[in-house]
Amino acid sequence: MNSLDRQQIIKDLVVKTDSKIVLLVMDGLGDLPKDGKTPLQAAYKPNMDALAKESDLGQSVPVLQGVTPGSGPGHLSLFGYDSLKYDIGRGILEALGLGIRVDKKDVVARGNFATIKDGIIVDRRAGRPSSEESKKIVEILSQNIKKIEDVDITFYPGKEHRFVVKFTGESLFDEVTDADPQREGQPMEWAKATNPDSEKMANIVNKLIKEIGEVLKDQPKMNFALLRGFSKHPLLPSFEENYKLKAAAIATYPMYKGLAKLVGMDVLEAGQTTEDEVKTLKKVWNEYDFFYFHVKKTDSYGEDGNFEEKVKVIENTDKAVKEILSLNPDVLIITGDHSTPALLKAHSWHPVPVLIHSKYVRKGLSVSFDEYECAKGTLGTISALDIMPLALANALKLEKYGA
């Protein structure tokens, strides 16, 4: 089945009701065993385990079996948007990660500082400068380049050799090839429009790069820039359109706020800690019927390979679960956007634990919330795209399909 058809079917069936759904996403939740236990198994989490007995458990595949998703595809799947169909540019994801506001008139691109010598790109990462060094160069560019023709240019510093450029103006489209030879020892590959509408954009991009080269020509290493992943704000149908849900996002990191915004959620001020997020949730409980509640640190410690701290984040989140349950949501889902095993120190392809709690779950098969109980739970192995339909169903927001 075409996944746009799937979204259409759900859209046709959904009805507005008073019931409330909480989607608690513990980023990078899934893991691998260390000394026979995963962080979820090692954590003391009485609330989640008690809930597991009263819930449907399963494991979800974010994109495809074997495919390791970035946070973008992982979250879009959770929200019910097939990342294989909705082509979300790398530029927009990078911009969202940096908390950059992207509007309809903007095109964003990822930049690399690079080293050019006699017309040859000799280092695509300019010797991997520190983020501080690179930030200084971004400041120089910001002072010297504000416009190319009628297009406003804004630079944003990123990590190490990376930065983001935002182009703001009329008639800017993103069907432009990467201005990047991809390999070192090659001459520059300039941007080309792949659609006549994007010719203005390609022209602006190449002029900008030449001007960057001029401004930076005396820098020892960061004397050039490569730009790629040109992307406009993608026009995703909103949660309101798709699901008739008034949705709030409670997240502490820019990337996740940005992803929630892409699907039209109201992004709330949520402080820095899970406790702050719980406070926000309680404050706005009566104003929304869907709450995306994001816990970042499970992923961060997974990426650090810090098993013990990941356990502690789960234990801390368990306390939030008690608070969330005290609000009596009609549906509570606890899951992750992907796995981030401490052993791999990176995102991975492993299926993600999912728990769905409502009055209408089959339950009875699982005694705790972890990868193994989920692998053999009542839900089975599902696509992450199934999670929103299941949430809506459990909230009694979906009408019968067919007579």
What residues from 355 to 374 belong to the interface with a copy of itself (CB under 8 A)? 359-365, 371-372
Does position 4 interact with a copy of itself (CB under 8 A)? The reply is no
50 binds a copy of itself (CB under 8 A): no
Q: Residue 53: helix, strand or coil by DSSP?
A: helix
196 binds a copy of itself (CB under 8 A): no
Amino acid letter, 39: P
- Rule CB under 8 A: choose which of 52, 148, 270, 390 binds a copy of itself: 390
User: Which residue in 67, 101, 128, 171 binds a copy of itself (CB under 8 A)?
Assistant: 67
**Binding to a copy of itself, residues 282-341 (CB under 8 A):** 341
Tally of CB atoms within 10 A around 380: 14
Distance CA 110, CA 108 (A): 7
Pick one of 40, 52, 63, 151: the residue that binds a copy of itself (CB under 8 A).
63
User: Which of 73, 157, 169, 302 forms a contact with a copy of itself (CB under 8 A)?
Assistant: 73
- Report whether 142 contacts 221 (CB < 8 A): no
CA distance 25 to 36: 25
Residue with smaller CB distance to a copy of itself, 285 or 349: 349
Residue 145 touching a copy of itself (CB under 8 A)? no
Give the residue, chosen from 203, 252, 316, 378, that forms a contact with a copy of itself under the rule CB under 8 A: 378
Kind of pairing between the strands at 147-148 and 151-157: antiparallel
Task: Tell me which of 171, 176, 344, 357 binds a copy of itself, using CB under 8 A.
Answer: 344
User: Is residue 122 involved in binding a copy of itself (CB under 8 A)?
Assistant: no
Instruction: Tell me if 391 contacts a copy of itself by CB under 8 A.
Output: yes
Question: Residue 277 is encoded by which pair of tokens?
Answer: 């997020």
Cα torsion angle, 146, 151, 157, 159, sign: negative
* Part in contact with a copy of itself (CB under 8 A); list of ranges 127-135, 274-282, 290-298, 348-356: 348-356
CB of 376 to a copy of itself, least distance (A): 5
Please spell the DSSP secondary structure of 220-254, one letter per residue: SS--EEEEEEEEEPP-PPPHHHHH---EEEE-SSH
Element (H, E) at 256: helix 254-262
